[in-house]
Structure 1
Amino acid sequence: MKSKAELRIAIIGGGIGGASAAVALKAKGIRADVYEQASSMKEVGAGIGIRPPSVRCFKEWGLYEALEKVTTQSDHMEIIAGDDHVLIKEAWPVLTDDKTEAYARLVHRADLLETIVSGIPEDQIHLNHRCEKITDHGDYAEVTFENGTTIEADLVIAADGIRSTVRNQVIGHVEPVYSGYLAHRVLIDFDDALGLASKENILRIYVDGDNSFYLLPLEHRNQVSVDITVPGEFAWKPELTKEEILASITGFGPTLQKLVENIAFEDIVTRPLCDLEPINKWSTKSVTLLGDSAHAMLHNQGQGANMAMQDAEVLAKAILEADTIAEALQNYETKRKPITKLYQELSRLFPSDQAETAFPEKAHF
C-alpha cells in the first residue's frame, strides 16, 4: 500500500457518516475528500441520542468540546401510554466497558452534522457532486459525477445512503425494505409542547399499540423534536393532508392530538421508514460501504447515526493499521458486521404499550 499520506481516498456522501469518515481519517493523519451532491452540507430530520461509544469517537477526533456545546446529557427514557401514564422509566444502557457511561447526549441532526463538518478542512469538501457512475478497476476506482468531473481513488467510501449509487453499481443492487410506517417529523418550541416534553432531558415516547410519538428535548435550541410514527402507504416523499395526519393519531391522548393541531402543517416533514436486510459483502479491494449504504436500520433504537459514526472510526483505524487497503477493509467488515446486524434486527422492534423494556439491546450487552 502507498504511504498513508499518499493515499487517494474519496468519500461519496456528506451526511453524518461521510463527514465522520473524513474527520476520523484526518485525526489519524490521512486525507479524504468528501463529495456531496447537494449545494451545502446540511441535515434535516429528528433529534437523536448520541451514545457513549460514539461520544468516545468525538474524543478521538478532537471534537468533544464542540459536541458538548450542542448536546445535553440524558440519563433516562420513558414510555408513556395516553398523555400521562408512565409504563416504563429506564436508565440508558451501558454500552462500553465503563459502567458510569449510562447516558445519551441529545442533539438535533443538523447540529451534529455541523459539529462534525467543522473538523473537515474546506478544501476537502466538494459540493454539487452527484455520483453518476463508478468503475472498480481492482486496485483503484474511478468516479464520474453528473457535473462532468471524474476522479480516481485508491479507496472509495460509499456513504451515500440507503439507495446508494455506489453500492448498487459495484457491490450489487439492494432494494430498501418498507416497514409499513411513516414518520412525521417537526421541531417545535419547548413552550408549544403543552407540558408533555421533559425539562429533565428525558426522551419520552408515547405509545398506542405499536404506534409511537417521540418528544425529544433539545435544550441547546429550547426546542423539542417531534417524531410521530404511524402506519401509512409507501412513497419516498409522501403527500398527506393535515387532516390525514390527525386521523392517524386518534389513539393517542387528547393533549398530544392538540399539540399536532397547533403545528403549522408546512413545517412537518414526512418520510417512509425503510431499512435493508443484512448485506453479506460490503467491500471490494478499492470500494467499501459505510452507514446506511451498508446497514440502513429503522429509527426505533436510535442507532442509525451512531452506527455510522462508529463505522467511521473503526474504518479509519483499520486503514491506519493495515498493510493494504484490502486487509483494512476485511478487518473493518469483521469488526462492524456483527454489531450492525444486531441493531438492524433490534431496530425492527417498535416501542409498544406491551414492551417490558425501553432498551431491547440490554439483553445483548
Structure 2
Amino acid sequence: MQLSDLKNLKIAIVGAGYGGASAAKALSLLGADVNVYEQANQIREAGAGIGLRPSTMNRFREWGIFDAIAKVSSPSEIFEILTPTGDPIMKEEWPVAGEQTHTHLIHRGDFIDALLSVLPEGMVHLGHKLESVQDKGDGAVLTFANGTSVEADLVIGADGIRSVVRRELFSDKEPVFSGEHAYRAVISADDAYGMVVDDNLRMYIGRGTKIYLLPLRHRNQVSFDITALCPDGTWVPEVTKDDLLATVEGFDERLVNITRDLDMDTVNIRAVYDIDSIDTWHSDSVVLMGDAAHSMLHHQGQGANSAVEDAGALADAMRDADSVKEALALFQATRKPVTDTLQAVSRQGWSEGEIDEVFPGQKPASIGAKG
C-alpha cells in the first residue's frame, strides 16, 4: 500500500499478548495509526520460559528491538531430548546451518514486558474487555464491556485461544482438550540439583510425561515444566504435590527431587487445549492472528514464535498489497499452510497406545482428534 494510505489507516488490535504487541510494533513502523485494546487491567504473564527461534529474533532485529529482547534472554545453541534417566535420544543444534542468530531463552513475563516497552506511550489501552465486533465491510466496530466503542479501518483479533473475534465472525467451535496437563514453575538454578550447567534446553520424555528444563541463566533461574497425560479437562484443575510426583515416577532422581521441592503456590497448573484448524481467518476488514487463528499445543514450542511470525507477515502484506482486502488475503495465504502443519505436528505428542497404557479405559473423547 502507498505510504499515504498506510498513514491514514486506523488499526485496532484486540489483545496485548505476544502477537498483538508484535503486530502493533510492526504496523506502527509502517506509519499506521495503531491502538491496542487489552481486557486485563494489568498485564502479567504467568507460566515460565520459552524459546524464541532465530526467525523470530530476526524479526526483532528488523524492527529495531533485538537488543531489548536480547538483554533479558539467554542465547542457546543446543536442544536435547533424553530418556527419563538421562540417556540421549536426540540432539539438535540451533540455529540451523546458515542462520547466524541464536535461539534465545526468555521468561514469558520478561518477554511481554520487553515487547510492551518498545511501543509508544498511550498505544495500549487496558481494561477493555471485548463484548462484540461488528464487521461493516469497509471497517469494523468494537464494543467493550466498559461501555466504550471503537471504529477502525482494520481490526486484528489477537485475543487468544478463547477469542471473541473468532467466535463472533469466523468459527463457533470450542477449544479442544489434548488429554494433558501442564505444570510450570520457575525455580532458582541453585535448587536444580546441578542439572543446569549451560544455556541449552533439555527435555526428558517417558511414559506419558515430558519434563522440560529451560535455563534462564541471566536470571540464575530455570524454567521447570512437566507435561503429563491426564483425562481431567477442567481448564484450571486441582492438583496436589502427590499428583505431580506420580507423573515423574521413574525419572532421574534429581528431577524427582526438584518436583518434591516445588512450592505448589508458585506452580502454574492448567489443562492443555488447542483449536481445530479453521477455514478462514479474515473478512475484508477483520483478521485473526496468533492463538486466535491457530492455537496449537506446546510440543513444538511454536505458539509464541508463530504469533510473532504472523505479525511480521501481516506487516509485510500490508506494505506489499494494494489494499487492506488484498493484504489480508495475502497474509492468510502466506501463514495458514505453515500453521496448519504446525498444529497437526503438535498434536502428535502422544500415541494412542501410550495413552491407553497410562490411562486404560479413560481416554478423553477429544484425544481421538489428535491423529
Instruction: Give TM-score, length-normalised by structure 2.
Output: 0.90
Q: Is the CA contact (8 Å cut-off) linking 1:142 and 1:152 kept in structure 2? A: yes
Q: What residue is the counterpart of 1:356 in the other structure? A: none
**How much identity, in percent, do the aligned residues show?**
45
Q: What residue is the counterpart of 1:44 in the other structure? A: 46
Q: What residue is the counterpart of 1:7 in the other structure? A: 9
Match of 1:58 among 51, 57, 60: 60
1:249-264 to 2 correspondences below 5 Å: 249-264=248-263
Q: Is the CA contact (8 Å cut-off) linking 1:156 and 1:286 kept in structure 2? A: yes
Match of 2:204 among 184, 203, 206: 206
The answer to whether the aligner puts 1:239 opposite 2:238 as a matched pair is yes
The answer to whether the aligner puts 1:32 opposite 2:31 as a matched pair is no
In structure 1, how many angstroms separate the alpha carbons of the residues matched to 2:60 and 2:217? 20
State the AA in 1 paired with 2:172.
H
- Per the alignment, in what secondary structure is the counterpart of residue 71 of structure 2? helix
In structure 2, how many angstroms separate the alpha carbons of the residues matched to 1:93 and 1:182? 30
The answer to whether the aligner puts 1:350 opposite 2:324 as a matched pair is no
- Per the alignment, in what secondary structure is the counterpart of residue 88 of structure 1? strand
In structure 2, how many angstroms separate the alpha carbons of the residues matched to 1:327 and 1:250? 54
Q: Which runs of 5+ in 1 are unaligned?
A: 353-365
Q: What residue is the counterpart of 1:331 in the other structure? A: 330
Q: What residue is the counterpart of 1:158 in the other structure? A: 157
- Per the alignment, in what secondary structure is the counterpart of residue 218 of structure 2? coil
State the AA in 1 paired with 2:220.
N
- Per the alignment, in what secondary structure is the counterpart of residue 33 of structure 2? coil
State the AA in 1 paired with 2:192.
A
Q: How many residues were matched structurally?
A: 348
Which aligned segments of 4 or more residues in structure 1 are displaced greater than 4 angstroms? none
In structure 2, how many angstroms separate the alpha carbons of the residues matched to 1:341 and 1:300? 15
In structure 2, how many angstroms separate the alpha carbons of the residues matched to 1:290 and 1:136? 17
State the AA in 1 paired with 2:42.
S
Q: Per the alignment, do residues 258 and 270 of structure 1 end up closer, same or farther by CA in structure 2, a change over 3 Å counting? A: same
Q: What residue is the counterpart of 2:315 in the other structure? A: 316
In structure 1, how many angstroms separate the alpha carbons of the residues matched to 2:209 and 2:45? 25
Instruction: Give TM-score, length-normalised by structure 1.
Output: 0.92
In structure 2, how many angstroms separate the alpha carbons of the residues matched to 1:93 and 1:68? 15
- Per the alignment, in what secondary structure is the counterpart of residue 246 of structure 1? helix
Report how far residue 40 of structure 1 moved. 1.9
State the AA in 2 paired with 1:224.
V
Q: Is the CA contact (8 Å cut-off) linking 1:162 and 1:276 kept in structure 2? A: yes
Q: Is the CA contact (8 Å cut-off) linking 2:171 and 2:278 kept in structure 1? A: no
1:1-365 to 2 correspondences below 5 Å: 3-92=5-94, 94=96, 99-101=98-100, 103-197=102-196, 199-232=197-230, 233-350=232-349
Report how far residue 350 of structure 1 moved. 2.6
State the AA in 2 paired with 1:27.
L
- Per the alignment, in what secondary structure is the counterpart of residue 80 of structure 2? strand
Q: Is the CA contact (8 Å cut-off) linking 1:212 and 1:351 kept in structure 2? A: no
In structure 1, how many angstroms separate the alpha carbons of the residues matched to 2:27 and 2:59? 12
C-alpha deviations, 1:11-31, integer Å up to 9, x for none?
Answer: 000111110110011222222
- Per the alignment, in what secondary structure is the counterpart of residue 110 of structure 2? helix
Q: Is the CA contact (8 Å cut-off) linking 1:91 and 1:103 kept in structure 2? A: no
